[in-house]
Structure 1
């Protein structure tokens, strides 16, 4: 990213920084006024929170060199459950982080800078809201689990510091299969990628891979259509409940599992319209337009939200990861 032009003696404008901390990699994106950006994506070098934090500090330092104006605010996508004490309570992908005091660690990385964090689905919803120009977006991610996010004009809901929008843990079938959270019939126990493949295997009478499901669905094989249709129906049930309470203006469906099945989004929309009641029409449904780094773009959007907030109002959001 070329440094923005500045008059002699003036400081270049600060950038918004987004950080996506994943189980296998970390991605950073700094966006300066005018649309210029610098992006880095690197894999973790080793294991252990000390090693990870040292690597993250190095990457942040390298990005600082490329962004002369520094960072106005930082938004972080963190796929971990962060408790009320600001410590990581659960993170299956990197259990070494359990116990890390997130607020303190991020304050050391970004001294004097507003910092906030939220779950991937929450920030993906922010990214989609920016991309579509719709302030009230319900985002549904269908992959290994089922995630979600909801935005209002002021940012993600239920709000920073109040937890994530855990759509995947809405119960859609109380007599359904067990979920890894300990309950039965959570949306992700029925509508996740693995759950859909397991159902397809039972209906087909043989193990079904994702590729096999795609081929069967494209050919409209009854076992494939039935397996996917049940998933789409359960997603529509959960979305209908949110629609009754929050009235989103747009539903966006993302995630690798959904994206690889042409017709998946249309099936969700069809069920959603069938479930609508008179006077409460179903919102439009679209596929994600942000691609694989949706949460990273959402982290940048969160930084912009934090940068506009009065000093002292920025607070982190806990996250309940899929599964």
Structure 2
């Protein structure tokens, strides 16, 4: 038993350092673009299939002893030690197959199993599989192609927040100066893409946006008449940056975080995140007007496919 748990821990840690990252609340399967979604709400097998399909996947397939060990480790942490459905079922011709109809290439049946029933569970006391009636209500695992959790082309995914971010790319309509936008136009452009200018709710998210701007800057400093304009981008804050007091970001969320190097002000202004590429430190800038020359790139933010499907 200790060996099984050790395997689960090892592969969980191994998956955490892979370049591919599953969203928070899901588990990576090493070597695959597969994210396992533990669903603790008990359901019969047909309802489990429907929910996994809604997320863009299926009841999880177990194709190796290592995957079996990983899922077994989740039973205690996510399901309070309950058994859980796996994506193994008895077909009409009497053969046991995966939930997508493909043949089994790995099995871990307990002694005397499978017996009655057309569905399968993983037993929390032994790591073994047992058959059962499909009308039984159990927690279950969904297996979803990790690519379906990522963002549309041109957007960047943050596993820390489960959101997608879009940094407006540089264009040079006159072949000399970079195209920049006022805050109002930037927000409208984000809305056209089903998003809003980015709201920021933590230090990690703040640093993510600073880095997004910094590492996607132009190779030339002729960004505008003011060559510092290229190193900042509008965020979704029009106000005084006071935390609480019913202040809202443009996406309707409350202001519960402010950049540590930024002070609240008395009047409502337009805000941008400054990456520090031009100055010596990253911070938020505020502007009384968003009219030229106060123009910038912008960062949009919207739900990842996983977050929107889970909501």
- Smaller-chain TM-score range? under 0.3
Structure number with the bigger relative contact order (C-alpha 8 A, sep ≥ 6) is: 1
Normalized per residue, the structure richer in helix is 1
Give the TM-score of the pair, scaled to structure 1.
0.27
Between Structure 1 and Structure 2, whose CA radius of gyration is higher? Answer: 2
Normalized per residue, the structure richer in strand is 2
